[in-house]
Chain A
Amino acid sequence: MEITEKEIDHLAELSRLYVEKSDVGRVSSRLGEIISYMDSINGSVKTDDIDEGFTEAELMPREDVVCGSFDVAALLESCPEHTEDTPTVPRVVD
């Protein structure tokens, strides 16, 4: 399956990644190779008989009680840019 430059651009946008023009060929060929391999099973293995209404994980929800929270100052130590109590980002609204 061929992955076009337009499709790569779309995937990159959804992924919030820049794919350099010079790298499009490499990415397209790697993705195409893997997707072709995936395509090889699509036609050959039947899945019509499998119930679609399933969940994979057995979720074990905890009791609905209030637990302790993290210390904001400790969390902000790992934050690249912040005020005293919150991370900061470039201005969104002028």
Chain B
Amino acid sequence: MEKLTNFTALELSGMLKRKEITSREITDALFSRIGEKDKDVNAYVTLNNNPTYSGEGLLAGVPISVKDNICTKGLLTTCASKILSNYVPAYDATVVERLKKGGMPIVGKLNMDEFAMGSTNETSFYGAVKNPNDLTRVPGGSSGGAAAAVAAGEAICALGSDTGGSIRQPASYCGVTGFKPTYGLVSRYGLIAYASSLDQIGPIAHDVADCAAIMDVIGGHDAHDSTSLNVNMPSYLDAIGRDIKGKRIGVPKECFSDSVDKEIVAAIKDCIKALENLGAEIVPVNLDFMDYVVPTYYIIATAEASSNLSRFDGVKYGYRAENVTSLENLYYKSRSEGFGKEVQLRILLGTFVLSSGFYDAYYKKALLLRRKIKAGYAEAFKNCDVVICPTSPIVAPKLGESLNDAMKMYLSDIFTVPINLAGLPALSVPCGYTAGGLPIGVQFIGQKLKDAEVLNIGHAYQQVTEFHKRRLK
């Protein structure tokens, strides 16, 4: 029999229902795989020694792993930062409550960039995560641990969070499937905030069907989150598997420039052909705002981060510096010793764009540009149902390469950040490999609350391709 860690969540769910296996056998297989692989991959910060379950649902008994910025009652939640290295939450995030209600045992907490600030997973206090496809390369970030764990067979599926591509980009680098839902569709209650108007929790798994099934477990209105949308949520699992004949796929020329790796362009073109063969109609669209999406994103994200992270002061929870001389000194010392360099830099940058004399030129300007970006997508969606583009202009870089060139790291987010600024749903699906064997991801972007449409097109593509079926030894 094939290894249990190679199956998808839905396959395992079927085997559990037929009583061919037990949930305990799956978690034992995962712990054994983690023991074998994680000394190299470093995907986990904390393992849950008692991954039991009692709830009921389609995925009952199927284990899931959770990014370490999502609160888990009684289980260490560090945000991969020294400042939360001793933080054990007194409550579950709403998504964790729903996993438990749905009977999904939690295997452990996944490594990430510190406070989700990074695109390479190298800023973690717990050390860099390595890409299981090539251990000399990064897994992407900030949900690098989640994508790497699924790719390495150390997790069946995972929850990540996406502020500017943090689910989709690592999914693309690691060769797995990642979905960022419409802003407000999944509760952020219990997600440790980076940039509240951009953050969204979503699934990472081997295929689109698993992502849809997990969305059915975690999605829906939550009164604890004032930005949670109170809308009727369809079953996403029921919504996939439909014909995509006549669906209009928008191809933006701005996303196929010379700055995009040639092997990635070729893979996306093959994907477009596959969709055409399925009966989709290919139409050109303009995304003429792409030149300013990265600075707009970094102004808004760091501004919100500088405010959100002011709560970490060494008083109520988390790391407290020793030998302090005053309350002020306690704040300064706990924060300076507790936050890593990239986090401190982003706090300073966010403080700068919000400070007197610079607010109008940077923060207010960025808010206006965000409006333009939203309007630009609305215009594009007049002519198409879904926009297609690469998830990232590059494949996974070597470890250390990006941290030495921060601007390069920020620019590599160009295809993912505008989606968060506009609050849209987007999916990254494996669509090929480079000659060197590195995964390539294609991104499908949909209109607000048309999450089912995005998932359906991604699923249709996976029905005629095999890229998502590759399993690492």
Contact = CB atoms under 8 A, between A and B. Distances in A.
Interface of A: 3, 7-8, 10-12, 14-19, 27, 30-31, 33-35, 37-38, 40-42, 44-45, 47, 50-52, 54, 56-63, 70-71, 74-75, 77-81, 87, 89-90, 92
Q: How large is the interface on B (under 10, 10 to 19, 20 to 34, 35 or more residues)?
A: 35 or more
A15 B197 CA distance: 21
Given A74-B90, A77-B90, A45 B406 contact: no
A59 B316 contact: no
A50 B371 CA distance: 8
Contact of B345 (A27, A62, A70): A27
Given A8-B348, A79-B316, A90-B325, A59 B365 contact: no
B274 to A, nearest CB: 36
Contacts of B326: 90, 92
Top 3 A-B residue pairs of the complex, sorted by shortest distance between their CB atoms:
A80-B320, A47-B368, A78-B317
Nearest to A12: B348
B331 to A, nearest CB: 5
Given A11-B355, A42-B365, A34 B227 contact: no
B260 interface: no
B372 A57 contact: no
Nearest to A86: B316
A37 B407 contact: yes
A79 B88 CA distance: 10
A89 B140 CA distance: 39
B327 A63 contact: no
B410 A78 contact: no
B406 A33 contact: yes
B306 interface: yes
A17 B332 contact: yes
Given A14-B355, A56-B367, A74-B90, A30 B406 contact: yes
Contacts of A56: 197, 367, 370
Given A12-B348, A47-B365, A78-B317, A17 B339 contact: yes
Task: Pick from A33, A52, A57, A60 the residue with the most CB of B within 10 Å.
Answer: A60
A33 B407 contact: yes
Contacts of A57: 197, 227
Contacts of A58: 184, 227, 229
B97 to A, nearest CB: 14
A64 to B, nearest CB: 11
B298 A38 contact: yes
B90 A47 contact: no
B331 A16 contact: yes
A63 B221 CA distance: 13
A77 B296 CA distance: 40
Contacts of A44: 291
B223 interface: yes
Given A50-B372, A70-B91, A90-B325, A11 B348 contact: yes
Given A38-B362, A52-B368, A30 B345 contact: yes
A17 B313 CA distance: 10
A73 B353 CA distance: 39
Contacts of A50: 368, 371-372
B315 interface: yes
A88 B226 CA distance: 31
Interface string B338-376: 010000110111011101000001101101111110000
A18 B406 contact: no
Interface in B267-296: 291-292, 294-296
B335 interface: yes
Contact of B229 (A42, A45, A60): A60
B151 to A, nearest CB: 31
Contacts of A71: 90
A10 B335 CA distance: 16
A44 B365 CA distance: 12
Given A79-B316, A87-B315, A92-B327, A34 B298 contact: yes
